[in-house]
Amino acid sequence: MKKILLILSLLFLIPLSACGKVKYEFKDGIMYEDGKEATGTFEFKIGKYRTKGKFVDGLPDGVIEEYYENGSIMMKKFFSNGKHLKDETYYKNGQLMSNFSSDKGSSFFYDDGQLVMSFNFQTGKSSSYHENGNPLFVMTRVKSTLYNENNEVLFEIVNGQSIDTKKTFKELEDGTFEILKDDKIIAKVDAKGETLTYLYSTGEKLMTSSSVSGDTEIFFKNGDTFFKGDSESGKWFYKNGKIFYEFYKSKWRFFDTEGNQIISNFDEITDIKKID
């Protein structure tokens, strides 16, 4: 009889303890504890990665840290009373992958430290870079400029109009064209006039652009793709051929050197628990 009473009492206690469980929720940038704005240090997952940070009155405050499976830092998000200040993303080897400042801009790097691209929010300038560090493609609000690896201008457009008048065109027997500047071939055009291919100073393909599809592809000097995209989407690649970064309209994702997605701007926050 005593055993039966003990079992019955335990059965009653289980739902009572379940009812007393605290509910944590992250919604619209605010951390809630049983429906109220929460204060404390929390651990949770962003996507599949463990994350830890402090919240005050529901708002992130200080550094939110995201970790790889091996425990090394993947990302640091800096906040002050809910205001997002900057982000730093890292490779597993500790090398900086990207930095982002809400009022200045951002820069992206390969795992060997090479600068890949940068954005300046104040001036509207965006730049991508050759493997030797020289600018490759630079865009501002009014001007776009393509450079070869020796920092020589291949084309420049201002307010939608080309300002380079030193180019000459040479038609070949097969109907294709060569574009020359200072008697040097800088680009080629197919016979239909649909695909334009700019060249490195040593003749390798640098960039192709299609007037039919709107696609643009930029290449490393060894022929592998560095960037491929159009007006709505784009992908950048590591030197090993794996995808590095991609965007589609308002969505973006980063990948590690093996091609595995690590962070995006649409990852969900789950498994929230308060640790302090």
Q: How far apart are CA 84 and CA 148, in angstroms?
A: 37
150 within domain boundaries:
yes
Q: How far apart are CA 132 and CA 122, in angstroms?
A: 26
The residue-averaged pLDDT of 62-77 equals 97
The residue-averaged pLDDT of 60-72 equals 97
Contact 230, 217 (CB under 8 A): no
Judged by DSSP in three states, 2 sits in: helix
**Confidence label for 164 from pLDDT (cuts 50, 70 and 90):** confident
Share of the chain above pLDDT 90, in %: 86
The residue-averaged pLDDT of 135-153 equals 95
Evaluate if residue 205 carries a pLDDT over 80.
yes
**Confidence label for 21 from pLDDT (cuts 50, 70 and 90):** confident
57 within domain boundaries:
no
Judged by DSSP in three states, 5 sits in: helix
Higher pLDDT among residues 67 and 163, named by residue: 67
33 within domain boundaries:
no
Sheet of 24-27: strands edge to edge? 24-27, 30-33, 36-37
Contact 221, 131 (CB under 8 A): yes
The per-residue pLDDT for range 46-57, each reduced to its tens digit, is 999 999 999 999
176 within domain boundaries:
yes
**Burial (0-12, 13-18, 19+ Cβ within 10 Å), 206:** buried
Judged by DSSP in three states, 45 sits in: strand
258 within domain boundaries:
no
**Confidence label for 20 from pLDDT (cuts 50, 70 and 90):** low
Contact 206, 196 (CB under 8 A): no
The residue among 43, 9, 7, 11 whose CA lies nearest residue 24 is 43
Average pLDDT, rounded, for the chain: 91
Contact 214, 205 (CB under 8 A): no
Evaluate if residue 1 carries a pLDDT over 70.
no
Domain of residue 210 covers 123-231
What is the chain's Cα-based Rg? 26
The domain total for the chain is: 1
Q: What is the pLDDT of residue 165?
A: 65
170 within domain boundaries:
yes
Share of the chain above pLDDT 70, in %: 92
Q: What is the pLDDT of residue 256?
A: 96
44 within domain boundaries:
no
User: Quick one: CA torsion of 171, 173, 176, 180, rounded to 10 degrees?
Assistant: -40
227 within domain boundaries:
yes
**Token pair of 206, please?**
């640098």
